[in-house]
Amino acid sequence: MLKAWVGGRMEQKIGFIGCGNMGRAILGGLLASQYAQAQDIWVYNRTADSVRAIVDEYGVKAAANAQALAAEVDIVVLGVKPNGMVALLSEIKASLRPETIVVSIAAGVTLDTLQAGLAAQQKVVRVMPNTPSLVNAGMSSVTPNSRVSAEECARIVTLFRSFGRAEVVPEGLIHAVVGVSGSAPAYVFMFIEAMADAAVQAGMPRAQAYQFAAQAVMGAAKMVLETGTHPAELKDMVCSPAGTTIEAVAALEEKGMRAAVIEAIGRCIAKSEAMSRR
């Protein structure tokens, strides 16, 4: 059961069923931010060796099985593969308390699917983190069902902000989240690679080129997030009249960069919608 606030944090038990790379990212963020203490975190994986490795690395507790974990914790994070979710829900359904919050990070598994596998009154939250979560720079969408209170939803948002940023998003926008966040690191990696290739062409060593390109992207993104200034205004600040930057911007416009990005993300969103209907 949930306890009182202790040392500026809510004392609660959190469990992970299926703690792979993303689960470890969340777990590491929780501990680093002191959102939770190791003695209040439980993990369960199908393979004993993987559980042992997590326990040894983080000092958390190992659960004997999924049902035991579900009965013990206040928040249970489900990190299994999407094709294993329905079976897992059936396995833990009877062990969950009505007040336990079930959080799914499985891509493509809808709230309806999650709710159908659990008791009608169960509190369920669908979360979509992206891969930069692995380096504490993630972006997560948080989508609760109607049973989750505003205070409970805020707690889940805080949990996912422990390793990046998180925003509440209605499920109708989840496909847009896939396009602008979930899949987006791949587009950005391509842009960094192309920038580095240009620098290599000009004579810079490749390893150094990646450093300059990646830092430029990270710094530019940080300016958008921290200044609140419109990206177009930030772009104009860099473009001196008849200068080098406006020359590069003009070339990108000539090649249709904006249109290509909009079309690519639109196709990503359409594909996500199509996959969800299968």
pLDDT at 277 over 90: no
138 and 203 part of one domain? no
Q: Which residues are annotated as part of the binding site for NADP(+)?
A: 17-22
For position 11, what pLDDT does the model report?
A: 76
Distance of CA 13 to the CA centre of its chain: 21
188 and 93 part of one domain? no
Mean pLDDT of 157-175: 96
Q: What is the pTM of this model?
A: 0.91
pLDDT at 5 over 50: no
Domain count, the chain: 2
Asked if the structure places residue 174 within a domain, the reply is: no
Listed residues 134, 168, 202: the one ending a domain: 168
Q: Report pLDDT digits (tens) over 145-161.
A: 999 999 999 999 999 99
CATH number of the domain to which 83 belongs: 3.40.50.720
163 and 195 part of one domain? no
Asked if the structure places residue 177 within a domain, the reply is: no
In the beta sheet, which residues pair with residue 16? 43, 77
Q: Which residues are annotated as part of the binding site?
A: 17-22
143 and 192 part of one domain? no
Which one, of 41, 38, 44, lies nearest residue 18 by Cα?
44
Non-local CB neighbours of 84 within 8 Å, separated by 6+ positions = 18
Q: Report pLDDT digits (tens) over 76-115.
A: 999 999 999 999 999 999 999 999 999 999 988 999 999 9
CATH number of the domain to which 221 belongs: 1.10.3730.10
For position 10, what pLDDT does the model report?
A: 59
Q: Are 149 and 124 contacting, i.e. CB atoms less than 8 angstroms apart?
A: no
Q: Which domain holds residue 125?
A: 5-168
48 and 73 part of one domain? yes
For position 4, what pLDDT does the model report?
A: 43
Tracing tokens 């509190």 back to the chain, one arrives at 123
